Amino acid sequence: MAIPLKYNVRNLYVRKTSTLFTAGSIALTVAVFLTMMALANGLKTAFTSTGKPRNMVVLRQNSDTETNSSIAPADFQKIKYLDGVERDERGVPIASAETIVLINLPRIDDPAGSNVIVRGLSEVGQRLRPQVQIKEGRWFRPGSREVVVSEATARRFVSTQIGERLRFGKSEWIVVGIFTAGGTAFDSEIWCDVNQLMNDYNRVIYSSILAETTDQETLAKLVERVKEDRNLRLDAMSETAYYGKQTSSALPVQILGTFIAVLMAVGAAFAAMNAMYTAVANRTREIGTLRVLGFSRFSIWLSFAIESVALSLLGGIIGCLVALPINGLTTGTTNFSTFSEVAFQFRVSRDLIITALVFSALIGLFGGSLPALKAAREKIVNALRS
């Protein structure tokens, strides 16, 4: 016969002070855990949501990123006219040769600054990324020293507002537009004309090629064809796979967050354990009475364990509510693949909230098991005499 749950709910209410302090410590632990996981989740989302499944990225062989890749213009012409590359209404291949440059810009809150990606691309490159839309101003004009800046970059770095000038390469570039990229990795970039960028840096080679294929089956065949062509010495992959590999940048954040959360969870579990030991000590006579009424040792253990888990879930819910306001906040960190800053948003997803609540329940189960076992082992005579 199970002990009614209202018995445990009543006891949590009676011990309001102890309940609130214990729930508060668990809430703090869950809030920190959820914040760190939302940070890692947002960084992953920024990469995994970038790219179209039919787009193919071409890099130099053995290059992991665009920043350390180089492709000759002659190779671009070969890739551009391969069978399977999509063409527009005029029959022109939808392929973009692009150049990447890293520049250091001072942050609004940090004069030391950080590296930012400047991407040189053509009108075709813009077409290949439909998620990127101008929010303010206009697109840069081909052949001009004009740039468009992502909204996240404009909020974080100096001299990135419309009408202001950035100095890199051989001269100054004027900001003519601010774009949004739907929370993708492009939200951390500055865009300009590829030919003008190459001229300013005396470059005669591109960093990468982005091409749209007719379908995903054709994409797989083209990837193999590019890899197997020994004359090209290039590597290819889908755009989603390319950015998917960069999710490794989120791993250090996730490991650190988990480590901190585990340390705090141990402390929270001891707080729950202390609260439950106090509850057992104060309710020894009740335990004896329950045994006289016919409740088994297991029922008593289960009752106290459930009470501890309920207490922890209460703290978990409070912790989730405390952490929810960070959802959607923009921050940034270093992408260790490209050594540039990547802007992203905290992502508190439904799955993450469920994980946090399970995490809090485990804290309660761990912290309440020993006190519950002590309660179950109380001898009836000793309990009634207390």
Angle at 186 between CA 181 and CA 187, to 5 degrees: 60
Token match 């889908």: residue? 238
Asked whether residue 277 carries a pLDDT value surpassing 80, the answer given is no
When pLDDT is cut at 50, 70 and 90, the band that residue 320 belongs to is very high
* pLDDT cut 90: percent of the chain above it: 49
Contact 323, 21 (CB under 8 A): no
Q: What is the mean pLDDT of the chain?
A: 87
Contact 208, 163 (CB under 8 A): no
Looking at residue 302, its pLDDT comes to: 82
Write the DSSP string, 91-159. S-B-EEEEEEEEEEE-BSS-TT-EEEEEEEE-HHHHHT-TT-EEEEE-PPPTTSSEEEEEHHHHHHBTT
Asked whether residue 7 carries a pLDDT value surpassing 80, the answer given is no
pTM: 0.79
Give which of 355, 372, 368 is closest to 270, Cα–Cα. Answer: 368
Looking at residue 255, its pLDDT comes to: 79
Least confident of 132-136, 267-271, 344-348: 267-271
Using one digit for the tens of pLDDT, what is the confidence trace for 64-111? Answer: 899 899 999 999 999 999 999 999 999 999 999 999 999 999 998 888
Token pair of 23 as six digits: 């729930």
Looking at residue 384, its pLDDT comes to: 58
CA distance 213 to 223: 10
Using one digit for the tens of pLDDT, what is the confidence trace for 289-311? Answer: 777 777 778 887 888 788 888 88
When pLDDT is cut at 50, 70 and 90, the band that residue 332 belongs to is confident
Looking at residue 382, its pLDDT comes to: 63
